[in-house]
Every structure is written in C-alpha cells, then in structure tokens.
C-alpha cells in the first residue's frame, strides 16, 4: 500500500474518532456526492464539480464528533418509560430533548428553563417537580406536559411543539396556528425533521379535567378520551 493511501486512511479514521492528528503539508476540504464534508490530505481525483480548498502549511487539525448519540443512550430508559405511559412518540421526545438541551441534564437557558426538556419554573411546579435537573423528574414532567399539549391541540404535533416553545397563549392568540416567530417556526421545523412522521390525529373532541399531584394539588389535564 502506498504512503499516500496509508495517510489518507489514517486521516479518515481520525476524523471518525474525533482525535487530533498531524496534517501533512496540505488539507483539502470538499463535499462528496452525498453532500457530506470531507477532510483529506490527498488531492481529490476530480474537483470540476466539487469545491475544494487548500490549507497550506497546516500543522494539525482537530475534528469533533457529536456526543449527542452517546448522551441520548443514557436517558433511553426514561424516554421509553414515560412515552409509553403517556402515549407520546419516543422519536418526538428525543427530538425535543436534543433541540432543547442537547441531552444535557444540567442545561439552563437565559429565560430560566431547566434540564433535559428545559422545563420553565411554572411548568416544573405544575407537575410537582422538586429538582428540574434530576433526569427522572424532568423527563416525567416534560413528557406529561407534551402529552397535555398534544391533547389540547387534537394531537397536532406542530401546534403542540409551538406551544412547548412559545407557550399555549401564543398559539391561541394566533388562531391556533404556529406563531409567526422566527425562533418558534425554526424550532417546529427542526423537530419535525428529526422526529419523522406525525402521528395520526385523534378525535377532535377535547375534554378538560383535573388531575391530582402526590401532594394534593390540582393540575389541568386535556384528553379526547371519555371516562
């Protein structure tokens, strides 16, 4: 095997592992036919259709692989448990969690949202959460709140996600449509893309009731199921 091929394979392996490795003289970056960015010290065979750039005298290069997938695995049990209990798609919850916190249980937003599913203090209180940075409490409340929003908006995931981001008041204010806020529209589109298909809509008759928390407080609930 020639030296350039050996170096090329080493560089490819390093890119996958997210480690540092020396770059030999020049680094070329270009997109392959699948649209993925490629880093290589070997000049592409053809650059007529794919853009390439030369980085002269590069001393080294570091590539970082996303840690999202690994972080997600740590909470898979909680996601599965509460999604089954609430009848919410696990893919939807995973996408919400990824966008909200990047699966970081210690995440806190400038607006005060906390934990994996970025619960606002009022939402955490509504669902009896004592420690919003505790993954078990956070996921339980976050999935239950998402279920409430899905029921409130006839299982329309876009409206539920918009309400999760901007609040139900904003959705209702705009005639039960996704509010025309850039952040909210981007949030909904991003999660829809990650989560895949939307669930089939349920019966549009929504009933409002109340549930009791462990300490005896009443919280509102919305459902299309008649008891």
Comparing 19-28, 115-124, 196-205, the range with the smallest average pLDDT is 19-28
State residue 223 phi and psi, 5-degree precision.
-155, 155
pLDDT at residue 212, rounded to an integer: 65
- 12 to each of 15, 26, 40, 93, 124, how far by Cα in Å? 5, 15, 7, 33, 45
Given CATH 2.20.25.90, say whether it is the number of domain 68-202. no
Domain positions in the chain are 3-62, 68-202
CA distance 23 to 11: 8
| pLDDT tens profile 153-199 | 999 999 999 999 999 999 999 999 999 999 999 999 999 999 986 54
- The model's pTM is 0.60
Summarize pLDDT for 100-153 with one digit per residue, the tens.
999 999 999 999 999 999 999 999 999 999 999 999 999 999 999 999 999 999
CA–CA gap between residue 155 and residue 158 (Å, rounded): 9
Q: Hey, which residues are catalytic here?
A: 100
Structure tokens at 92: 């939807």
Question: What is the percentage of the chain residues whose pLDDT exceeds 90?
Answer: 54
Residues in the chain: 227
Q: For the chain, what is the largest distance between any 2 Cα atoms, rounded to a whole number of angstroms?
A: 74
Nearest of 159, 166, 161 to residue 204 by alpha carbon: 159
């Amino acid at each position: 095997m020639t030296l350039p091929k050996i170096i090329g394979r080493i560089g490819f392996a390093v890119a996958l592992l997210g480690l540092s490795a020396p770059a030999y003289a020049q680094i070329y970056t270009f997109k392959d036919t699948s649209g993925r960015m490629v880093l290589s010290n070997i000049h592409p065979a053809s650059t007529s259709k794919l853009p390439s750039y030369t980085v002269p005298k590069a001393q080294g290069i570091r590539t970082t692989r996303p840690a999202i997938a690994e972080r997600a695995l740590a909470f898979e049990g909680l996601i599965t448990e509460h999604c089954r209990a609430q009848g919410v798609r696990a893919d939807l919850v995973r996408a919400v969690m990824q966008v909200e916190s990047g699966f970081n249980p210690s995440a806190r937003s400038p607006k005060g949202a906390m934990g994996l599913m970025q619960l606002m203090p009022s939402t955490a209180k509504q669902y009896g959460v004592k420690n919003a940075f505790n993954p078990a409490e956070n996921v339980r409340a976050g999935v239950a709140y998402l279920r409430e929003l899905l029921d409130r908006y006839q299982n329309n995931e876009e409206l539920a996600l918009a309400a999760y981001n901007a609040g139900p008041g904003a959705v209702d204010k705009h005639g039960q449509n996704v509010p025309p806020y850039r952040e909210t529209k981007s949030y909904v589109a991003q999660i829809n893309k990650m989560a895949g298909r939307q669930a089939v809509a349920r019966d549009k008759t929504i009933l409002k009731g109340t549930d009791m928390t462990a300490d005896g407080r009443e919280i509102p609930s919305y459902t299309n199921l008649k008891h």
